[in-house]
Amino acid sequence: MSSNDRVIIFDTTLRDGEQSPGASMTGEEKLRIARALERLKVDVIEAGFAIASPGDFAGVKLVADNIKDSTVCSLARAVDADIERAAEALAYANSGRIHTFIATSPIHMQYKLRMQPEQVIEQAVRAVKKARSLCADVEFSCEDAGRSEIDFLCRIIEAAIDAGARTINIPDTVGYAIPHQYADTIRQLLERIPNADKAVFSVHCHNDLGLAVANSLAAVVAGARQVECTINGLGERAGNAALEEIVMAIKTRQDLLGVHTRIETEHILAASRLVSGITGFPVQPNKAIVGANAFAHESGIHQDGVLKHRETYEIMSAQSVGWHANKMVMGKHSGRAAFRSRLEELGIVLEGEELNAAFARFKELADKKHEIFDEDLQALVSDTLAEEAPEHYKLVSLEVASKTGTTPEARLVLSIDGAQRDAAAQGSGPVDATFKAIEAIAASDATLQLYSVNAITQGTDSQGEVTVRLEKGGRIVNGNGADTDIVVASAKAYLNALNLMQVGAKAHPQVEGV
């Protein structure tokens, strides 16, 4: 295969994925995901929108300072302040990229930007030149390209390439495109723009009509050579194109698509679980590639066929995306070195105090649970790191009484910035009582939008992984907690959400338009 047959995988889980309501991540969580992406051999990791908040800047910088094998990218609107902040965050990257964008559709130019098309071209050119003065690798995106006029796209893209952009992204920002039409747009742009050969054409599809992956693949057939995607399809509204689906479609149907990626697909499942654990967005069981049922054959005819010859009903092997890792990996006699090395295989690097704390939690868990699986380790690390982080609210103790015929009651002690407070409350169940007792102390005024419990592994000794989504004043956060006792896991998740509420809000790149 020639280099022109390679599709660059640009992962935006840490930026567009993080824009899903409630999916915000700390810098340290971003770095853990970035390490898993680097292990997957993702070409470009979009680590955030550096100007959005001090936390976002720190997250991009942390990823840029530590990731060596993937290019690290920051988003920036087409204004000097954004571009300078992105460059600052990327200053120590081994390989950095500034991704600047401006909207190009009539509706965005008229109502959001309130600018004439000529002014938009001028601003795009200025932004690309500014970015090029600070970074050799510059990507330019025409926001809402999916609803932009093709003649205008040709003009602005030609000007952006002349100004120094080396990647041109054609986002279907609102998920409006249909595969053959989107492919036709890419084909026309490649044919009509005189300097198109000086840039890589990229696609970035949202999933509002459930077509993000189909649109991306159609664009690849038409000549696009970068696909922007996210793990588990995380992203704004209905999400972005799912990395695992794009990559496995390209690998499985190489006969038809004739392209390849650099992705080491056997690490896909671990990355999926990490993202789901950190963001609290569970993966639906029937999700392609990474859903629990993706390789489960229920019908007798299918089972019989697979046993006789796997390819009768399976188009790819479960092992090729990492399902073989779903085995008992550790037990109470496993030592610290084995623990550390298994974490490293899962893309989790812990040192010093963090490693000590996680190992102590592992030993506690091993006393309660006979077999410890990869999923347990991932949840345990998330939970340990959340507890190690400086937090406003911490759970000190919890006691619940629940008996048929009586009203469940919870008594708990919280530490609030080091000072202990206790409360008791009754509720319709032990979890409800626990949340009411927490609120008796916190009085947060937040509304509970979602409560979900997921058994991390099989068996009644499984850890329960709880997600609590709280909303206050339009801000949404997802808190997570894991424990073999689901009431304790629920209390941890609720407190985690309250702690996240304390962290400053950030700007949204597409809402705060230039």
* Binding residue ranges: 16, 204, 206, 240
Residue (109 or 495) nearer to Zn ion, CB:
109
- Residue 410: strand pairing partners: 400, 425
Residue 405 and residue 492: Cα distance in Å, rounded? Answer: 27
| The token pair that represents 47 in the structure block | 């680590």
Q: Do 481 and 493 touch, CB atoms closer than 8 A?
A: yes
Q: Of 168-176, 284-292, 367-375, 460-468, which part binds ligand KIV (CB under 6 A)?
A: 168-176
Residue 394 and residue 417: Cα distance in Å, rounded? Answer: 8
Interaction of residue 204 with ligand KIV, rule CB under 6 A:
yes
Interaction of residue 339 with ligand KIV, rule CB under 6 A:
no
Residue (13 or 169) nearer to ligand KIV, CB:
169
Interaction of residue 171 with ligand KIV, rule CB under 6 A:
yes
Partner that binds at residue 24, options Zn ion, ligand KIV, none, CB closer than 5 to 8 Å by kind: none
Q: Which of residues 450-509 bind ligand KIV (CB under 6 A)?
A: 509
Task: Tell me which of 13, 173, 434, 463 binds ligand KIV, using CB under 6 A.
Answer: 173
Q: Which of residues 205-224 bind ligand KIV (CB under 6 A)?
A: 206
Residue 399 and residue 402: Cα distance in Å, rounded? Answer: 10
CB of 234 to ligand KIV, least distance (A): 13
CB of 16 to ligand KIV, least distance (A): 5
- Integer CA distances (angstroms), 348 to 22, 38, 186, 237, in order: 23, 11, 38, 29
Q: Indicate the length of the chain as a whole number.
A: 514
Interaction of residue 164 with ligand KIV, rule CB under 6 A:
no
Closest C-alpha among 203, 274, 278, 272 to residue 241? 203
Task: Tell me which of 95, 141, 279, 382 binds ligand KIV, using CB under 6 A.
Answer: 141
Q: Of 169-177, 273-281, 389-397, 420-428, which part binds ligand KIV (CB under 6 A)?
A: 169-177
Q: Do 50 and 84 touch, CB atoms closer than 8 A?
A: no
Q: Of 119-127, 167-175, 409-417, 469-477, which part binds ligand KIV (CB under 6 A)?
A: 167-175
Residue (11 or 16) nearer to ligand KIV, CB:
16
The H or E element spanning position 97 is strand 96-103
Partner that binds at residue 176, options Zn ion, ligand KIV, none, CB closer than 5 to 8 Å by kind: none
Residue (53 or 402) nearer to ligand KIV, CB:
53
CB of 240 to ligand KIV, least distance (A): 8
Residue (236 or 375) nearer to ligand KIV, CB:
236
- The pattern of x and - marking residues 236 through 255 that bind ligand KIV according to CB under 6 A reads --------------------
Task: Please count the other Cβ atoms lying within 10 Å of the Cβ belonging to residue 16.
Answer: 26
CB of 211 to Zn ion, least distance (A): 14
CB of 45 to Zn ion, least distance (A): 15
Task: Tell me which of 8, 14, 16, 408 binds ligand KIV, using CB under 6 A.
Answer: 16
Phi, psi of 454 (to 5 degrees): -135, 130
Task: Please count the other Cβ atoms lying within 10 Å of the Cβ belonging to residue 332.
Answer: 14
The H or E element spanning position 466 is strand 464-472
Summarize as ranges the residues that interact with Zn ion (CB under 5 A).
16
Q: Are strands 226-229 and 409-416 parallel, antiparallel or unpaired?
A: unpaired
CB of 144 to ligand KIV, least distance (A): 6
Residue 197 and residue 190: Cα distance in Å, rounded? Answer: 8
Partner that binds at residue 279, options ligand KIV, Zn ion, none, CB closer than 5 to 8 Å by kind: none
Residue (15 or 61) nearer to ligand KIV, CB:
15
Residue 134 and residue 132: Cα distance in Å, rounded? Answer: 5
| The token pair that represents 479 in the structure block | 């808190």
CB of 367 to ligand KIV, least distance (A): 46
DSSP string, 159-202: HHHHHT-SEEEEEETTS---HHHHHHHHHHHHHH-TTGGGSEEE
Residue 492 and residue 432: Cα distance in Å, rounded? Answer: 14
Q: Which of residues 143-162 bind ligand KIV (CB under 6 A)?
A: 143
Partner that binds at residue 101, options Zn ion, ligand KIV, none, CB closer than 5 to 8 Å by kind: ligand KIV
- Contacts with ligand KIV by CB under 6 A: the residue count is 11
Residue 15 and residue 72: Cα distance in Å, rounded? Answer: 11
Sequence-distant (6+) residues with CB within 8 A of 364 are none
Interaction of residue 108 with ligand KIV, rule CB under 6 A:
no
Annotated binding site for Mn(2+): 16, 204, 206, 240
Partner that binds at residue 141, options ligand KIV, Zn ion, none, CB closer than 5 to 8 Å by kind: ligand KIV
DSSP string, 395-458: EEEEEEE--TTS--EEEEEEEETTEEEEEEEE-SSHHHHHHHHHHHHH----EEEEEEEEESSS
Residue 272 and residue 270: Cα distance in Å, rounded? Answer: 5
Residue 487 is classified by DSSP as H
CB of 227 to ligand KIV, least distance (A): 13
- The pattern of x and - marking residues 52 through 81 that bind ligand KIV according to CB under 6 A reads -----------------------x------
Residue (57 or 176) nearer to ligand KIV, CB:
176
Provide the binding-site residues for ligand KIV, judged by CB under 6 A.
Answer: 16, 75, 101, 141, 143, 169, 171, 173, 204, 206, 509
